[in-house]
Chain A
Amino acid sequence: MISYALRRLVTAVPTLFVIITISFFLMRLAPGGPFSQERGLNPTVKENLDRLYRLDEPLWRQYLDYLGNLARGDFGPSYNLPDFTVADLFRVGLPVSVELGAAALTLALLLGTLLGVVAALRQNRPTDYAVTALATAGSTIPTFVVAPLYQLVFALTLAWVPVAGWGGGALVNKIGPVVVLALPQIAIVARLMRASMIEALTSHHVRTARALGLSDLTVIVRHALRGAVLPVVSYAGPAAAALLTGSVVVESVFAIPGVGRYFVDAALNRDYTLVMGTVVVIAVFVIVFNLVVDLLYAVIDPRVRHD
């Protein structure tokens, strides 16, 4: 299994290379540059800035330079936040986004699985309908509607939590972002779990376990759940990558100093290095979590082997 994991990580390098290459040239095709937008910038100053950041060199040189620096772990300076390097920005922002994302992911997996299992056990009864309704609502109402509504109800009307802000990481400040991030995920996990649990409950091995006289709890947790959780596991990989790298909407509505806004802001400001840094970070998260999912698969389902 370890050699399988290593092999997967090695094959991830070409994938990463392709993503970086396409993103690099795609972004450079876009009109404008990091210093062409500031109005009234003296042409000489712009020239000097371009020279300082070596933006005046041919594109292929810049590309090779970037790859070389990246290989040494240097993400380069941010053009629009000149006091920071891209690595600095991630060192400050990523822990915040990861913390919120991890909390939301944990909440979504626990609550979603629980709701899905309960709905499957009470199929076509009021509990099931309630869970299905909740899941439909959770996956239909967009985050940018839920987040301000949460602020309206819980912060402005009931005054239980602050409206926005990080508050140095105080718990009350995190409730809103975590819940809003988790809601759609809870809905999707509950839906997946319900469908696969219903299937698992009618399968032969569960019927056999029942016939052997095992208790309901043992049958459900040890026999039905184990197989039924696989679709949730494969969903959780990409979902984890998306959650941990921050959400634009949630972070801007709640004024969270995470990395979620970097992508949009950087692309609009042509902050090339920050865009590339974000692409690399997201791609690495996606690759790593897909690997984790595949390894977990083998742990949960012994029929899956990675030799």
Chain B
Amino acid sequence: MTEAAAPLHAAEAGRSLWADAWRRLKANRAAVVSAVYLVLMALACVFGPLFTGHAFTTIYPDYVRTPPSFAAHPFPEEIDGALAEALRRARVEPTAWKQHGGRIEVTVASTRPIDPRIGRYLDRSSSFEGAQVISIAPDGLSLTLSAELERQRFLFGTDNTGRDLLTRTLVAGRVSLAIGLLAGFVAVTIGVLYGAAAGYFGGRVDEAMMRFVDVLYSLPFIFLVIMLVVFLGRNFMLMFLAVGAVLWLDMARIVRGQALAIRRQEYVQAAQALGVSPFGILWRHVIPNTLGPVAVYMTLLVPQVIILESFLSYLGLGVQEPLSSWGVLIAQGAKNIPSANWLLIFPSIFLTSTLFALNFLGDGLRDALDPRDR
């Protein structure tokens, strides 16, 4: 091509499959909104816990099963109980307390002289900090303390042991999304390599490889998963492999079908004639040409993995405390619905909305990559 001819050709340059698909995907509003939502969800889960002001393992004994609220705790009606609880350990009686903005003043009394270091007991409570003694009665049997209220916000409320549900939901989201992506990736990798090899080599190799897939298909799916969990123990990292290792069967079948067609294409025959090794052909020609359906299937696989992981966690076979996943939180929420329904509702919203977004994105990708199948 001469330099002068280049601009002419560029004007009518064909769009590649991927550019074309990208254009169609951008035109699909549901898919774009879903993609943006998923990115925001992932960012919120990865970075959100840094900004909630709580660690996902921090236990606030004063705030067990606190309902969700925008206001900062402790509420006036909670101070009384928190004071009584903190001072009971100091073996003194609060006789009166007043609130001045963010501080409280409390007068305590006892039958024995009170140690002025008593403020420590208030500091230890999750409701107060910076306690100081303002005045001591001459007989030493009563004194007045001033302490700052330790402000806590629990937008999603707290769980059974007094941990912030918002932080826990976000951290759980990390686990669920990471498992979804990684197990999806494991399943796709195994499935693509296996299916491409079976389809490309064909004949007896194909026959043997696909009969193996059929055998695995015929076993009850949940049995396979449970056996894997039993083998591997309840190990968080191995869960990825277990789940991924079970879900590759569909992928292998899809890719095999593609590979069977691709191996009869002229460019594959040309590569064979040029003496390219079978693995070179697989890697350079067969696998790249199966990636369209693979991309579609992967987006539909990720929600399946997330559901499966949640299901296993729901049964108590998945992620273990103190880590959690959306499935774990939903299972705990389901046990607490009479007294604390927010424990069920918030994780359910997170899980369900993510699944919806993944489905819409998957549908969008399918329409974009395979316009025949509308």
Contacts and interface: CB of A to CB of B under 8 A. Distances in A.
A15 B211 CA distance: 12
A80 B331 CA distance: 25
B230 A30 contact: yes
B359 A249 contact: no
A144 B230 contact: no
8 contacts: A26-B227, A142-B311, A142-B352, A145-B351, A148-B334, A148-B337, A148-B344, A152-B337
Contacts of B317: 264, 268
Contacts of A29: 231
Interface string A247-270: 011000100000000011001100
A12 B48 CA distance: 54
A141 B331 contact: no
B219 interface: yes
Q: Is the interface of B mostly helix, strand, loop or mixed?
A: helix
A272 B307 CA distance: 28
Interface bin, chain A: 35 or more
A144 B333 contact: no
B138 interface: no
A253 B344 CA distance: 13
Interface string A217-232: 0000000000000000
B7 interface: no
B314 interface: yes
Contacts of A267: 223, 226-227, 230
Contact of A140 (B230, B334, B338, B359): B359
B307 A142 contact: yes
Contacts of A64: none
A190 to B, nearest CB: 15
Contact of B231 (A30, A248, A268): A30
Interface of B: 215, 218-220, 222-223, 226-227, 230-231, 303, 307, 310-311, 314-315, 317, 327, 330-331, 333-334, 337-338, 341, 344, 348, 351-352, 355-356, 359
B222 A248 contact: yes
A151 interface: yes
Contacts of B219: 19, 22-23, 26, 279
Which residue of A15, A26, A278 has the most chain B CB atoms within 10 A of its CB atom? A26
Nearest to A248: B315
A156 interface: yes
Nearest to A32: B230
Which residue of A145, A147, A148, A268 has the most chain B CB atoms within 10 A of its CB atom? A145
Contacts of B333: 148
B330 A144 contact: yes
Contact of B215 (A18, A31, A144, A147): A18
A25 B183 CA distance: 26
Contacts of B351: 142, 145
A23 B224 CA distance: 9
Contacts of A27: 227
A142 B282 CA distance: 38
Nearest to A147: B334
